[in-house]
Amino acid sequence: MATLLARNADILVTMDGARREIPGGGVFARDGMIEAVGPSETLPATADRVIDLSGHVVLPGLVNCHHHLDQTLTRNLPAAQNTNLFRWLKAHYRIWGARTPEASRTATLVGLAELALSGCTTAFDHAYVFRNGCRVDDQIFAAREIGLRFMVSRGSMSLGESRGGLPPDSCVEREDDILADSERVIGAYHDATPGSMLQIALAPCSPFSVSPELMRDSAALARRHGVRLHTHLAETIDEERYTLERFGKRPVAYMEELGWLGPDVWFAHAVHVNDHEIGCFAGAGVGVCHCPSSNMRLASGIAPAMAYGRAGVKVGLGVDGSASNDSNHMLGEARQAMLLARLQISLRPPEGPDTTLSTSDPSRDQEWMTARRALELATLGGAAVLGRDDIGALAPGKCADFTAFRLDDLAFAGGLSDPVAACLFTGPHRASWTVVQGRPVVERGAVVTIDLPAVIAEHNRHAARLAALPF
């Protein structure tokens, strides 16, 4: 069984139960699982692979809870640069529908490479456009190439424009076909064992792109097989108007009617919710993926991340699609979550808290999202949202997933009085090492599992073809 010893970190952040931050810390792992964490002198002296992390800050691998990796093909699309969600989607649907399996492979590799270079070790992807010969399998094989821990949805859209949905009819599928392929993908790929590198979720896209019947049938299928459920929810006021006009309910109440409030469910965005709905999420054990950059990019609003935490709602972070964020930087997303939460406490209701007290009042100190709280969302929070207790922290019995950043990097200069907080307050940062299941994916600042320059060149060719389509 292969062993790994990472030692001599200037500071090692465990995110364990005691939230230890260990000077001179290290990790010893066997066959991809951690056996010991502590001061380096307390660990075994040798291993099959030894990594000296002197001059580094080490974090648990970051967990990305919501992404659309195929959108890496349509970053910065001119027709969608200055629009809100519904108009942005209409500018993209047909282009996404024209991608190929080869394009999907390179998009997955590019997106996961960027994530790995930002410290991410586990990524969830929400794929839902399959009328073009593409399959979830394309992304699964690409994730295996690069070596990140992967959770992927067999997503779906079935409600086209002719039936009152937002997407064009050419981009939606028959519901029987969706359910049949969902069952195939679960049977072929889902691995629920500890340390799993691949898991499947079912993820009908949104209330405005699938029918109530498909939502219910997907939930029944997922629960029969023990896989998790995911969808976009309460992202914009347009969505709220849609569900009120079509179903007579706000988005959260609509989900409750469909049987979609439960501990096996997490929602992306969940921006436009009230206190009662936050309580519903907490009571049902629902998780939320906060996507701050995307919500700002599309002017969707500010999700109440701190209020969710106070209520006991599981909260993780997601970079969302690379056409609504235009980047795949997970540590940057944690920084964005911290900054956006701070902006929110300065706003007046309904966006901000109902108070006349200044943000300088000491009684409001608990409202501030700290750097360590943001890192917790990006690690333990993401693990909880994805239903994993084997990732998100560096502790015995957990997966050997970690990332390390060089403290002599220019971006850290002057910030070393608190290197952990500097990971968020300064930046952007590029990972020096990213290790997944004990295997380096990034070594000394470079992705080592794929030929990245060749992938980028091929990816740009696919992206140029899509951008030139006459839609």
Residues 68 and 125 sit within 8 Å (Cβ to Cβ): yes
Percent of the chain at pLDDT exceeding 90:
98
pLDDT tens string 371-393: 999 999 999 999 999 999 999 99
Per-residue pLDDT band at 92 (split at 50, 70, 90): very high
pLDDT of residue 127: 92
pLDDT at 1 over 80: no
Q: What are the tens digits of pLDDT across the range 32-76?
A: 999 999 999 999 999 999 999 999 999 999 999 999 999 999 999
Burial of residue 421 (number of CB atoms within 10 Å: 0-12, 13-18, 19+) = middle
Interval 445-461: pLDDT, tens: 999 999 999 999 999 99
Identify whether the C-beta of residue 50 lies closer than 8 Å to the C-beta of residue 17.
Answer: no
Lowest mean per-residue pLDDT among 1-5, 148-152, 420-424: 1-5
State how far the Cα of 169 lies from the Cα of 185, in Å rounded to an integer.
24
**Per-residue pLDDT, 40:** 98
Q: Does residue 144 come out as left (phi exceeding 0), alpha (psi in the -120 to 50 range) or beta?
A: alpha
Q: How confident is the model at residue 131 (pLDDT cuts 50, 70, 90)?
A: confident
Mean pLDDT of the region 202-211? 97
The contacts of residue 100 (CB under 8 Å, 6+ apart) are: 132, 133, 134, 462
Determine the pLDDT at residue 350: 87
What pLDDT, on a 0 to 100 scale, did the predictor assign at position 132?
84
Helix residue ranges, H only, 98-174: 101-117, 136-146
